[in-house]
């Protein structure tokens, strides 16, 4: 009996059919319909129902942005899917399913990524680790004693809201200063490119202009400061980096060089590694939570 898992993003929804041994049987994505609550839920049910008809699905796992209460299914704040803020996502999905009693779980997307790494990725050998995702924004998850830390009001790991440069940048957050989107925005300003022009993070790393190299160094230093602060606070076994840009082989050397310049890093140093699962992390995390619930 396979499992059906969904990873909801601001632009696309990834989905996969997985067997008992974590093998991906089918995998694809559809655009995220976020113009209204009804449109979003209808798109999910339209995606899920054919699988319920064609397969004996054991359960549905959902990786979702925002502050998620996994015990109830409520999205206290729904991140990029703002129309779902305050809603019980599980209840809304059930209402349009052909099998409304099927087991469904939901969890924050960064937490799902951490769970995937803990079960079958680079967190397997750790009791405690931190995961930082670098993308449209900055995400985070903390694992302590092999369990995700949710916090009192399910906001643990909201690293993107941290303030790291008040004197120069005021209340701009890590989202504004250290995300891939921030790097792209700064690059466009430096190069005098129109804001609507499409620029990918990978292309910036390939630009050999000395001013671009300095820009990357400054941006990487903000990430390094974030890593240092997180390590000081949590004392993890290691830190894992995820998000699309983490696959770029140039990123980690920039960050390690910036950390090496910190005179206190030697005291707190832990391994910094790239996540293993990358684009499948949210799906695999939801899958493992679903299996865990079934057991």
Same domain, 236 and 142: yes
Pairing mode of beta strands 67-69, 74-77 = antiparallel
Same domain as 140, residue 266? yes
Are 256 and 285 contained in the same domain?
no
Q: For residues 179 and 136, is the Cβ–Cβ distance under 8 A? A: yes
Domain count, the chain: 2
Based on the fold, state whether residues 74 and 100 are members of the same structural domain.
yes
Separation of alpha carbons 62 and 27, rounded Å:
14
Q: Read off the pLDDT of residues 58-116 as tens digits, 9 standing for 90 and up.
A: 999 999 999 999 999 999 999 889 999 999 999 999 999 999 999 999 999 999 999 99
Distance CA(259)–CA(253), nearest Å, equals 10
Phi, psi dihedral angles at 116 (to 5 degrees): -60, -45
**215-250 pLDDT per residue, tens:** 999 999 999 999 999 999 999 999 999 988 999 999
Whether the CA torsion 125, 256, 275, 231 is positive or negative: it is positive
pLDDT band at 134 (very low <50, low <70, confident <90, very high): very high
In a domain, 245, yes or no: yes
pTM of the model: 0.91
Residue 117 falls inside a structural domain: no
Q: Residue 295: what pLDDT?
A: 61
User: Quick check: is 120 in a domain?
Assistant: no
pLDDT one-digit tens code per residue, 35-72: 999 999 999 999 999 999 999 999 999 999 999 999 99
Kindly compute the dihedral angle of the four CA atoms of residues 190, 194, 200, 205, in this order, to the nearest 10 degrees: -20
User: 270 and 161, same structural domain?
Assistant: yes
CATH code at 35?
3.30.420.40
**What's the CA dihedral at 123, 66, 278, 128 to 10 degrees?**
-10
CB of 114 closer than 8 Å to CB of 63: no
Residue 10 forms part of a structural domain? yes
pLDDT at 137 over 90: no
Give the total residue count for the chain.
295
Range of the domain at 189: 126-275
pLDDT at position 202 over 70: yes
């Amino acid at each position: 009996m396979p499992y059906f898992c969904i990873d909801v993003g601001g632009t696309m929804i990834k989905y996969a059919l997985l067997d008992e041994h974590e093998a991906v049987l089918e995998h694809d994505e559809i655009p995220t319909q976020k113009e209204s609550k009804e449109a979003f839920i209808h798109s999910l049910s339209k995606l899920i129902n054919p699988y319920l008809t064609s397969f004996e699905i054991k359960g549905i796992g959902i990786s979702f942005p925002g502050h998620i209460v996994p015990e109830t299914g409520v999205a206290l704040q729904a991140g990029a899917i703002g129309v779902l803020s305050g809603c019980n996502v599980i209840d809304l999905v059930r209402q349009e399913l052909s099998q409304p009693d099927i087991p469904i779980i939901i969890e924050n997307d960064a937490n799902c990524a951490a769970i995937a790494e803990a079960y079958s990725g680079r967190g397997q050998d750790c009791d405690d680790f931190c995961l930082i995702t670098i993308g449209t924004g900055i995400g985070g998850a903390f694992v302590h004693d092999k369990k995700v830390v949710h916090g009192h009001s399910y906001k643990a790991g909201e690293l993107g809201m941290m303030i790291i440069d008040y004197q120069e940048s005021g209340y701009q957050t890590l989202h504004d200063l250290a995300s891939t989107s921030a790097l792209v925005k700064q690059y466009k300003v430096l190069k005098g490119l129109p804001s609507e022009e499409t620029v990918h993070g990978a292309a910036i790393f390939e630009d050999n202009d000395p001013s671009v190299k300095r820009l990357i160094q400054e941006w990487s230093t903000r990430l390094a400061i974030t890593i240092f602060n997180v390590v000081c606070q949590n004392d993890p076994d290691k830190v894992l980096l995820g998000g699309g840009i983490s696959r770029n082989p140039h990123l980690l050397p920039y960050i390690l060089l910036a950390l090496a310049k910190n005179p206190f890093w030697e005291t707190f140093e832990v391994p910094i590694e790239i996540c293993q699962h990358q684009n499948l992390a949210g799906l695999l995390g939801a899958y493992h939570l679903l299996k865990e619930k079934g057991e």
